Structure 1
Amino acid sequence: MRTNIDFDDRLVEEAFRLTNLRTKKDLVNFALKELIRHHKKRNLLDLSGKIQFSDNYDYKSTRENQNVSECN
């Protein structure tokens, strides 16, 4: 998608220094990916304390079962 954007030159220069990226397109794509990653990470942190785990859950047996199914 093509679009025209008026960037703050100081922000762009600092972002180039911090990332070593060479084009504005790469810089914008990187920034968008980081924004998405940050918000997904924050959404996971919002779940903290809201998930109840079973006391008798055996994660080792679950892993063993997964390993067997991966070999087939």
Structure 2
Amino acid sequence: MARTVIDVNDEMLAEAAEIFGTTTKVATVNAALEDAIKRRKRASFLGWLAEGGLPDLTGPVETADDPHQAA
């Protein structure tokens, strides 16, 4: 792991620590980075779905074995 010196807004860091339930600056920054990455990946995936990703899964599923299907 690389060691980096950065200036961080203390109020934002404290608020982030409260949100993530972390007790150290390192844990808070790592949790915030992880959260930002996951949020961006989720947004990207949702955009992909909205553009037609997984087209075979967007309509109703019909099978001959479906016990709920009217005969």
For this structure pair, what is the TM-score category when the shorter chain's length is used for normalisation?
A: 0.5 to 0.7
Partner of 1:6: 7
8 A contact 2:16–2:32 mirrored in 1? no
1:1-72 pair list within 5 angstroms: 1-47=2-48, 48-51=50-53, 52-53=55-56
Q: Provide TM-score, normalisation by structure 2.
A: 0.67
Give the 3-state SS of the residue equivalent to 2:56 in structure 1. Answer: coil
AA of the residue aligned to 1:53:
D
Partner of 1:69: none
Larger proportion of helix: 1
Question: Which runs of 4 or more aligned residues in structure 1 lie more than 2 Å from their structure 2 counterparts after TM superposition?
Answer: none
In 1, Cα distance between the equivalents of 2:45 and 2:20?
Answer: 26
Q: Which has the higher contact order (CA 8 A, sep 6+)?
A: 2
RMSD over aligned Cα atoms: 2.2
- The count of corresponding residues between Structure 1 and Structure 2 is 58
Deviations 1:8-59 (A, max 9, x none): 111011112222211111111111111110011001111124132177x78x
In 1, Cα distance between the equivalents of 2:46 and 2:13?
Answer: 30
Tell me the percent identity: 28
Q: Provide TM-score, normalisation by structure 1.
A: 0.67
